[in-house]
Structure 1
């Protein structure tokens, strides 16, 4: 029962078409599944990943039309990292972001790694992180269909950043319940605030880290477009996930129990600062109902929603992804 690393991060967008354009054309990520929110089938759920839709590479978005902009604050998933192979790749990305007029910072060191922070068109906080000195969980494969040179392409999710008012409570859940390890600390990015704590699981490295940033100077976040809904961590298979269901219940954390998402099994629960965590299985995967060469081209529905396809499609605004 050891979590393998990050599985996916799910955020909110108010415009699926613009979101698709940004993440495929600017960021060079592959749309690996075009489906709907299984809890609200009137809205899209888009999954972006690497060339082979590997777990640990997926950034997903629920479309909430007319959603207000996210109000950044504490008790939130405040940063989502995307891994690239090298420091040289970051230099390429800095020029690319300037070319596409994407808001970004300068390249700076975080926990001994070169990083480049940016915001997407809706203000989502992203951090490109170099794997040049990385050891641990392997990255994925850059999308072959992207215009970005393969050596510079995004290879998966990097450290997820949590901003909280009470770091001890979150750290307790990570270490005592989820079996993460404290790896180290680095100086806060805001003067006068405590050091940022780094926790890792599994083989460790950029694909298996959570960074906790304590902040006492911010109001609570109000979730909107550009905000992050939840972060998911990798579990090897369903049998192991069901053991995690029992463990979370034994620790008296309110949870969803086992949820069949068809493409993976899931378990949802909130840590004490209110951040939503998910544990997700590596399989069956996104090619269970589509050919790997044609992922994301058509609206995919799990079997339990297929009989409602006509009603579901009638509520969705057409989204061309080919």
Structure 2
């Protein structure tokens, strides 16, 4: 079976304990659009919020499960330790540094990795994020910023950048990336902690910021304990349902434990854990987020996939109201 290369990041899903503050931070501070207010399909008592470009194009979605009683994350290995967001230029990072300063957002200085300027910052729960400049980027195209965003369009976030995997044993994860998923090892850059190995860079498909994974090995950390402010999983793009089913067959042949085909309505999915226990998802580019809401009104109402619609009254009764109409 000839599998097509993965196309890059599809979405990253993280954990918040406060949907209201999360909504305010990612829409009003970061200027992303809430394209879908839905539920965690594995636990319908909590929200699943999707932030993205103007319409939730694949490769632009940052999503959050609300787990109100989640404890603080204890950072460590076998984790997705940083997720990054793409901005158009080096000048954009200056704009964002000033914006973070004005809004008292915890942030670092502008630095440089793999020839690109970056700006690391944290949200109100300590979620580790990084803006990456696309000024010199060649590869997977970004999305289209929402023109009603409070952020200037020329500096707006318009896609997902590289994800950082921090693991205890990098070689095992590297083999999953290259031998199973078809990534190419592109290079490396110096570790941010003295005495640790260089951080390896892998890419897939057309390459570029939207298709890179950074792999960091750390021998000085315990295993991460997830909570609010941690990343739950990363999803990578496949073309369509047929290709996803091919991946399901491939993993089954290799006897790699996986979820099998999963219907998520807005896309189709497949889940498995890589060698260090990090949860990976493969997800289709479509159908997208406009099947149950018009483009103009994305994210305004609670959206339920059709197979949950007969439970709407019960589901809504358990959710804390969250006003997302502007």
Which residue of the partner structure matches residue 20 of structure 1? 23
Instruction: Name the counterpart of 2:149.
Output: 146
Deviations 1:171-194 (A, max 9, x none): 111111110111111111111110
Query: TM-score under structure 2 normalisation?
Result: 0.98
Residue among 176, 201, 205 paired with 1:173: 176
Residue 244 of structure 1 corresponds to which residue in structure 2?
247
Query: Is 1:11 aligned with 2:14?
Result: yes
Unaligned stretches of 5+ residues in structure 1: none
Q: What does residue 116 of structure 1 align with? A: 119
Measured in 1, the distance between the counterparts of 2:206 and 2:254 equals 25
TM-score, with structure 1 as normaliser: 0.99
Distance 2:256 2:281 in 1: 13
Counterpart position of 2:188:
185
| 2:294 aligned with 1:291 | yes
Q: How many residues align?
A: 322
TM-superposed deviation, 1:98? 0.6
Unaligned residue ranges in structure 2 (runs of 5+) = none
Report if the CA contact (8 A) 2:55-2:289 is conserved. no
CA contact 2:202–2:214 (8 Å) conserved in 1 = yes
Report the alpha carbon displacement of residue 247 of structure 1 after superposing the two structures with TM: 1.0
Q: Specify which of 12, 17, 37 is matched with residue 34 of structure 1.
A: 37
The alpha carbon displacement at 1:52 in A equals: 2.1
1:177 touches 1:251 (CA, 8 Å); kept in 2? no
Q: What residue in structure 2 maps to residue 196 of structure 1?
A: 199
Say whether the 8 Å CA contact 2:187–2:202 is kept in structure 1.
yes
CA RMSD of aligned residues (A): 0.6
What residue number does 2:220 align with? 217
Match for residue 231 of structure 1?
A: 234
Report if aligned partners of 2:37, 2:302 keep a CA contact under 8 Å in 1.
yes
Cα distance in structure 1, aligned partners of 2:287 and 2:192: 40
Which of 81, 104, 108 pairs up with 2:107? 104
* Equivalent-residue separation in structure 2 for 1:192 and 1:240 (angstroms): 42
2:140 equivalent to 1:137: yes
